Chain A
Amino acid sequence: MVEKDHFRQVLQHSPFHDRIEEHNLIKNWMSWNGYQTARVLDTLSAEYFAIRSGCSVMDLTPMEKYRITGPDSLAFLNRLVARDLSKLKPNRVTYVVWCNDDGKVLDDGTIFHLGDAGYRLCSQHHQLDWLLISSQGFDVEIAEETHEVAALAVQGPTSCAVLRAAGIDGLDQLKPFGIQYTQLLGFEVMVSRTGYTGDLGYEVWTEPRHAVDLWDAIFATKHRGLYDVRVIGLDALEMVRIEAGFIMPGDDFITAETAVRADHDRSPFELGVGWTVNLDKPYFTGKGALIKEKSSAIKRRLVKLVVEGNKPPVDSFLYDAMKGKRIGTIKSQTWSPILKANLAMADIDYINGKAPREIWAEIYYQKELTWHATWARTTVSEKPFWSHPRKSATPPGPY
């Protein structure tokens, strides 16, 4: 229930806020979905390496969450998203994208099959209007539950060990994209082996009233001197999600609902997530348009680029060969400390349906306020830039 004077506090606090604030040494906050969220709490590199080499904790509560229940839930969701959900078993999670009528991506997210409790859809952007539009003719209930579910992402090679030490049992047998329920200190938590880091990791879900207890249980492992556990902010997450090759709506592409200019929206094929599109399943929104797109020449692709050298290719233009035809731009990029390379997501045009042979980036960078221009060769990476076997090993190995 929102009070009439909610204007007094612009950014909402999640149930973990007080705890996070204690860890946030530099008070570098921003808004994520209307919640006060840390960008960096202490040092970016420390937070990055907590994810890649230790155990990181991030507040997931601001992520949009919807609960879908009712007899037509599966039919509704299967008409909503491009992926075939009929094979999604209870206590399993899957990654999905959904499109508008023109086959352009509205958002991406994950769907949790919660068994008798229905489905949970997590998304990047606000989707209630679209979900309700899509629900016409289906016997389903859709409820936004963002603020009713507190969630933490616990990610990194020691994450399993940390959660175990915190008192969450049975994680050894939890496979990637699996869900399990456990009692912790007398309340129920749901753990899913999911994440946005491309590493071993879990997301832990509970009621807001147990949020602080959950947090304290996890950090107790640190206080007991067992493991280092570090709170991370959005900036570190941005680095690892690019390494893992995950796309970010709003950064790597404009969502179809917010695109004002024609041709600025993108299809799943164009975003390189065509693997989630199943054209053999029953009708879903955008299917007709996607079938048509599939049979015509490729116009463009969002690709993963490794950019040679160490100059940051921020907002760089891309060319077909050095000083050749301009074919696109870099949408997001990061320096990968673990790979010692510049990694980027880039939107490039295909020429006559063909990928450019060699892509060069024109980079502007400054040293002591003096600007320089340089060219850097790039290579397209078909796979995630970084992937580790521990991500999918069940049971997870020791660290």
Chain B
Amino acid sequence: MANNRGKKYDAIVIGAGHNGLTNAAFLAKAGLDVLVLEKNEYIGGATVSRELHEGWKYSNCSYVCSLFRPEIYQALDLGRHGLEVIPLQGSTTFMQNGDYFGSYHQPTVRRREIARHSKRDADAAIRFDADLMKWCRLIRGFLLRTPPNPASLKPRDAWEFAYLVKQFYGLSESQIYEFIRFFTMSIAEYLEEYFESDVILAHFSGGSIIGTGLGVYSPGTAYVLLHHAMGDVDGNIGSWGFSRGGMGAIAKSIAASFSSFGGEIRTAAEVRQIRVAGRRAVGVVLVSGEEIDASVVVSNLDAKRTFLGVMDPKDLPEDLLHRAENFKIRGSSGKVNIALDGLPNMTALPQGSPLTRGHMHFTDTLERLERGYDDWKDNRWSADPYVDALIPSQFDPTLAPPGKHMMSVFVQYCPYDVEGGWSDEKRDAFGATVIDQIAQYSPDFKSMILHTEVRTPLELENEVGLTEGNIFQGELTLDQLMFNRPFPGYAQYRGPVKNMYLCSSSTHPGGGVMGAPGANSAREILKDLRRLNTVPADFGDD
């Protein structure tokens, strides 16, 4: 560990998650002397892969990527720094009647599969895809931009607001209303305007509840679908990718890029507080007591941890404290990582189906999804959980020994405040619920399990530092999006004291392994420092 006593950095970034590293890399690329501090002994935050069972590598938080901005990928040269993103092969929803619905990668097969369940829905999917693409196109343009403050009378905000309105006006009048409807509707009701088949409705709804404290019938969830649909792998909109070597490879490649610009990372260096003098951030003090000086301090912690954790309340305006306390960041997801002795047999799938190499879901009606949410509202995990299971070791042999497999299972819903508090028994019972859900569709699944790691929101909070285990670092509801993210008046990455910035998923455009908050924050910092901007603009669509 380098001794930094007496040295003053241009910038310190707290938290070596993908956004912190992205932020640091763009600052370093602009010539700044940047230090990233990470509390854990390993980097990555929620983009992490670790060997928790001998021979198996678990990506134990985030598990797929598609949202990661290609502009950032290109600007930080991540391909040369070791990142490989492999597209996944579709997704499946297993049905209680023994059948399944497969969203195949191959478009002709995908269409015929929808038609197998409903001929009408196969045609409606064309209308749906085109409409979704309209909204993707609009929203994607805002990802690498700083939201304007709608109450501000400053020219910059007015200009940005005008830009927003102009983009909006690229739509026809009826499209504007349709967009507002999309933005404010529930995913279930939105989809019901297109589709009729239960399993197709359920299949397309799943993406809208992942990570949220909302149900498929909650207004605002249609928009969350976009958060999962607007990503792309090599221009295939809505397709998901898996990074070879696990999600940790993303953090590693950004870290390598950062290092190539001369950046420095210290692990096992937990920040206790951001030091403020004369209403300016001047550095940090570590838990060890060590003090490090810096001209700029950037927090990649979520808004709650930043303002209620590493900042002294006396340095904060009162309204901000109040807002931080009321910031909605409820954990709703769990994670189960499973080491398997072989590839489980999914009874419903014909021999040789490519669908085993994609996402697997086990909830085939909207009602089942919504009832899962009702459980969570009452502080219980879903008795019939929505599960997103994946066996990435099929195409990434680095994750498990030959012939063995690694299954990553994301679970919705699992509460942070479980009734009566979490205990080891309850955690195991939660894990058993998830395994039972899968085992119903795979008779040999249980017998293949070699090791299981169950993670409730509590574990996600303790290890990664995500408050309440919320994977988006703050819910993606209308009150916490765009110029409201994380709080009204603080959506432009600048903190309440000078030289202090935010770069986590608590800021616009929010969660998902996207890198955009980190990049946007870097752009604002470089602007304030009057440095050359190293952050790329959106590729643009036309």
Contact = CB atoms under 8 A, between A and B. Distances in A.
A and B touch in their complex, CB below 8 angstroms: yes
Interface of A: 2, 4-8, 10-12, 31, 34, 101-102, 125-130, 132, 144, 257-263
B44 interface: no
A260 B124 CA distance: 15
Among A101, A126, A127, A129, find the residue whose CB has the most chain B CB atoms closer than 10 A: A129
Interface residues of B, number: 36
B350 A5 contact: yes
B108 A11 contact: yes
B174 interface: yes
Nearest to A263: B172
A126 B130 CA distance: 14
Among A7, A8, A31, A262, find the residue whose CB has the most chain B CB atoms closer than 10 A: A7
Given A2-B116, A262-B171, A10 B122 contact: no
Given A5-B350, A6-B116, A7-B354, A258 B108 contact: no
A4 B99 contact: yes
A129 B102 contact: no
Nearest to A128: B123
A261 B122 CA distance: 22
9 contacts: A2-B116, A4-B99, A6-B112, A7-B113, A8-B350, A34-B112, A128-B119, A128-B123, A130-B123
A214 B113 CA distance: 31
A259 B130 contact: yes
B308 interface: no
A262 B172 contact: yes
Contacts of A260: 130, 133-134, 137
B198 to A, nearest CB: 17
A95 to B, nearest CB: 22
A128 B175 CA distance: 23
Given A7-B102, A262-B171, A257 B108 contact: no
A126 B108 contact: no
B179 to A, nearest CB: 11
Given A10-B109, A34-B108, A262-B171, 20 more contacts: A2-B116, A5-B351, A6-B112, A7-B350, A8-B350, A12-B112, A126-B126, A128-B122, A128-B123, A129-B121, A129-B124, A130-B123, A130-B127, A257-B126, A257-B127, A258-B130, A259-B130, A260-B130, A260-B137, A261-B542
Contacts of A126: 122-123, 126
A8 B109 CA distance: 9
Nearest to A5: B350
Given A7-B354, A10-B106, A34-B108, A127 B123 contact: yes
Interface of B: 99-100, 102, 104, 106, 108-109, 111-113, 115-116, 119-124, 126-127, 130, 133-134, 137, 170-172, 174-175, 348, 350-354, 542
A34 B109 CA distance: 8
B106 A144 contact: no
A31 B108 CA distance: 9
Nearest to B117: A2
A376 to B, nearest CB: 27
Contacts of B119: 128, 144
A55 to B, nearest CB: 31
Contacts of A262: 170-172, 175
- 7 shortest interchain CB distances as A-B pairs: A129-B123, A5-B350, A129-B124, A2-B116, A126-B123, A128-B123, A260-B133
A127 B108 CA distance: 16
Contacts of A128: 119-120, 122-123
Given A7-B106, A7-B353, A8-B352, A129 B127 contact: yes
A53 to B, nearest CB: 35
A149 to B, nearest CB: 16
Nearest to B121: A129
B123 A4 contact: no
Contacts of B123: 126-130
A317 to B, nearest CB: 16
Contacts of B121: 129
Contacts of A2: 112-113, 115-116
A70 B242 CA distance: 51
A102 B172 CA distance: 10
B200 to A, nearest CB: 13
A64 to B, nearest CB: 10
B176 to A, nearest CB: 10
